[in-house]
Structure 1
Amino acid sequence: MDINLVLALFAGAVLLISAFSTLLQRVSLPGPVLALAFGALIGPFALDVVRIEDFGLPPGTLLEQAARITLAVGLAGVALRLPHGYWRRDARWIAVVIGLGMALMFAVATGVLWAALGVPFLVALLLGAIITPTDPVVTTPIVTGSLAENRIPERVRHNLSAESGLNDGLAYLFVLLPVLLLTEPDRAWRELLTTVLLREVLGAAVFGALVGFLMGKLFVLVRRHGLMEESSYLAFVVPLALLVLGTGKLLGTDALLAVFVGVAVFGQVIPQRDEAQEDKVQDAVARLFLLPVFILLGMALPVEEWARLGWVPPVVLTAALLLRRLVTLWALRPLLRDVHDRSETFFLSWFGPIGVSALFYATLAERHTGRHDIFVYTTLAVTLSVLVHGLSTAPLSAWLQHREPERKQEEETAA
């Protein structure tokens, strides 16, 4: 493999997409859509310029580790995007959409897949768990940037960001349930409650919170005494995310959840002004990690295996992706009536894109179970989500912007 060819292709694509990012958002062609298409174009099913096998690692390993690192950097950006006091002020949204919403989305997705996809129940359960969480990295282009800030209310952007950050890490618990049932059925529930829940999930939350608090205090201390340059903020946050990711994995915890909790606590400890100055830069860095992952995925898409599936799986997967959110958020609307109005609820119930986190969990599940069909179905679902949610971002955000004056008028009339 010629590394210079890879650098030229990947960097050139990222440069062009970044240069025209605002224009592309306005015409509903966000970066992930174009990066995925570019990867497919240079891959073996089109121009065959570069193959993912040329990188010298098993494709599953390369995709899993690339997705893992991308998620860590993206989760850091999501956590820092939330203002001071957010978690206390918006506790109802978090409690409802995470405490009840994830379980309901998991049930709806699994039910649709089992009823219509024609796969065994445990495979449907695993696929349902993989597509349940909203992807924090793919959500970033929807809720950040000048277009999003002008069209989407701040509370909608913050709530979608917080949900995508938390449920991505907590999805580990949902994914490991069917993985354990497929690989160790006799010990599955015991392992889930002891090893997965107590050590890996709760341990990750405690570890992340502790590291985030200590690093936040250290950051404030060194800044107060002039020991760190003003421009060193980003150089502090990205290593913090990667430190928690690596150490959390070495300790046997759910490292992605630890990253989000750690950086969220860090963001609440540091001064608000520091956070506000740099979060846009952090989001830009996250996008630089996002686009290469989608180029890699485009090169690895199992197009021939999709073709053998026929037309039913794409329809079923699309239905599962959309219904899991639509059914859940409208079912939970009585508990969220004071948080979001109907137009905002519709926007939030539509935008539950999947992407990098689904890719990570699919490669992890394939590694544990040996079932390649999980990867085939998940990559098809990711591609469908990128197209459906990506192409609908601009029109639906414009619709929500037009609804904002009507909502304010209704509130004033009610008052």
Structure 2
Amino acid sequence: MLVGFGVAIVLAYWLPRFVSGREPAASALLIVLGWALFGWMPGLSETISPLGAPKAWETTSELCLIMGLFGVGLRIDSLTGKGRWAPTVRLLAIAMPLTILGVALLGWQAGGMTLVGALLLGAVLAPTDPVLAGDVQVGRPTEGGEHPVRYTLTTEAGLNDGLAFPFVHLALAIAGAGALTLGLAGEWLWRDVLYRIIVGALGGLVVGWLLGKVLFEYPRKNALAETEAGVFALAGVFVAYGATELLEGYGFIAAFVAGLRLRRSESGHAFHVRLHDFSESVEHALTSILLIGFGAAMPALLAALDLQGALIGLALIFVLRPLAGWVSLHGTALRGRERFVVAAYGVRGVGSIYYLAYAGSHLELTNEAQLWAIIAFTILASTMIHGFTAAFAVERATGEKQSD
């Protein structure tokens, strides 16, 4: 097993370098290599499948996400600028709900799912991934040059994992109650939408501010930042996420906002690069293991896939997300190719694994095998399609050159 994992990781990052100086296809290769190396072992796929052990997948993907979200927050050098956040807000407020609605309708009408199962499918597939979309995001801290295309894709990925959570909670609440009532809708609005989002944002702001004080200011002449120990990134993530979850807020929002707020403390300090690199290293290690395991589970996950399920996944990638994104970006400063790239390149990945594992560990799902089959197929297709084309598409849209 150890040899297989090691070989898969090396090959996934090594093989793309024969074509490119970067590793845009590593995520897809990790899944495929996990499938090739372990998927044939009798009984292994069924044993490790999230259908039977959702809690392990929930916990691992949760750790991947919070490390990725914190690192994404640290990446953003500037928060100001005319219209800079307008595309992000539109993607979150317009494109994401439209995507959820579109996928839910397809799941209900074409996939034959229950309304709850279809709504859950839409919520699970709605968020773009902060972990697997590094190739289309802004660079490391202090590098500057944050093109609007990269900036929008980065900030969207940083926020929409937390903002998709209310819709997951809505699906679970309806499933538990048996019907959507006015009372349930009202409780969902004040608790799952308003309270948890606000607490998530405030939790991230407070922890990010405190961490900035601890790392850079006290004691001023012997600050922790001088140690260059990147493990403080791990500590910051744990505190921001854990404290917010204890208050029933959205920890994903807190992890991103904490990184964003910490980045404002001594913003030009080189220690931010160290923190980012450490969090990225932990994220890459966890994600590599997760995706190889996901590939190994593919035979069990795809057993329930039918033509309708595959078409739902492809419709999301090629029609629903691009169309919803294109419509939502109308009136922004993004034009032509820029608008298309932002609309089309919403990678699906670890976030979808987490949300469905979370739902499966909290409720007995009627369409669970079908849901996992569609999710698995969509993630595989998204990582392959977006992974092999993202670098080229973003460079054409931004006018940047790929570095070796």
Length-normalised TM-score, structure 2 = 0.85
Q: Trace 1:55-94 onto structure 2 (pairs within 5 A).
A: 59-86=53-80, 90-94=84-88
Aligned-partner Cα distance in 2 for 1:318–1:280: 34
Contact 1:63 1:297 in 2 (8 A): no
SS of 1:252's equivalent? coil
Is residue 287 from structure 1 mapped to residue 284 from structure 2 by the alignment? yes
2:151 corresponds to which of 158, 164, 168: 158
Gap regions ≥5 residues in structure 2: none
Contact 1:330 1:349 in 2 (8 A): yes
Contact 2:345 2:390 in 1 (8 A): no
Contact 1:67 1:293 in 2 (8 A): yes
Aligned-partner Cα distance in 2 for 1:12–1:241: 30
Contact 1:329 1:349 in 2 (8 A): yes
Is residue 179 from structure 1 mapped to residue 172 from structure 2 by the alignment? yes
Is residue 226 from structure 1 mapped to residue 255 from structure 2 by the alignment? no
1:377 corresponds to which of 371, 377, 394: 371
Shift of 1:129: 0.9
Length-normalised TM-score, structure 1 = 0.83
- What whole-Å deviation, never above 9, does each CA across 1:124-170 have from its counterpart, x for those lacking one? 11101111111111112443679xx9xx9732122101101100111
Gap regions ≥5 residues in structure 1: 407-415
1:242 corresponds to which of 238, 241, 251: 238
2:36 corresponds to which of 12, 28, 41: 41
The more displaced of 8-17 and 201-210 is 8-17
Q: Report the RMSD for the aligned CA atoms in angstroms.
A: 3.2
Aligned-partner Cα distance in 1 for 2:160–2:37: 33
Shift of 1:67: 0.4
Over 3 Å counting, the alpha-carbon distance change for 1:251 and 1:81 in structure 2 is same
Over 3 Å counting, the alpha-carbon distance change for 1:9 and 1:333 in structure 2 is same
Shift of 1:198: 3.7
Aligned-partner Cα distance in 1 for 2:48–2:300: 19
Over 3 Å counting, the alpha-carbon distance change for 1:106 and 1:312 in structure 2 is closer
Aligned-partner Cα distance in 1 for 2:46–2:11: 22
Report the counterpart of residue 197 of structure 1 in structure 2. Answer: 193
Aligned-partner Cα distance in 1 for 2:72–2:64: 12
Contact 2:13 2:23 in 1 (8 A): no
The more displaced of 11-20 and 233-242 is 11-20
Contact 1:138 1:353 in 2 (8 A): yes
1:361 corresponds to which of 351, 355, 361: 355
- What whole-Å deviation, never above 9, does each CA across 1:317-354 have from its counterpart, x for those lacking one? 21134323211122123222x1x121011111211111
Shift of 1:87: 7.9
Aligned-partner Cα distance in 1 for 2:199–2:263: 20
Report the counterpart of residue 102 of structure 1 in structure 2. Answer: 96
Aligned-partner Cα distance in 2 for 1:289–1:87: 35
Over 3 Å counting, the alpha-carbon distance change for 1:245 and 1:307 in structure 2 is same
Report the counterpart of residue 266 of structure 2 in structure 1. Answer: 270
Identity of aligned residues (%): 21
Contact 2:16 2:26 in 1 (8 A): yes
Aligned-partner Cα distance in 2 for 1:217–1:206: 17
Over 3 Å counting, the alpha-carbon distance change for 1:229 and 1:181 in structure 2 is closer
Comparing both structures, which one devotes a greater share of its residues to helix? Answer: 1
Is residue 315 from structure 1 mapped to residue 311 from structure 2 by the alignment? yes
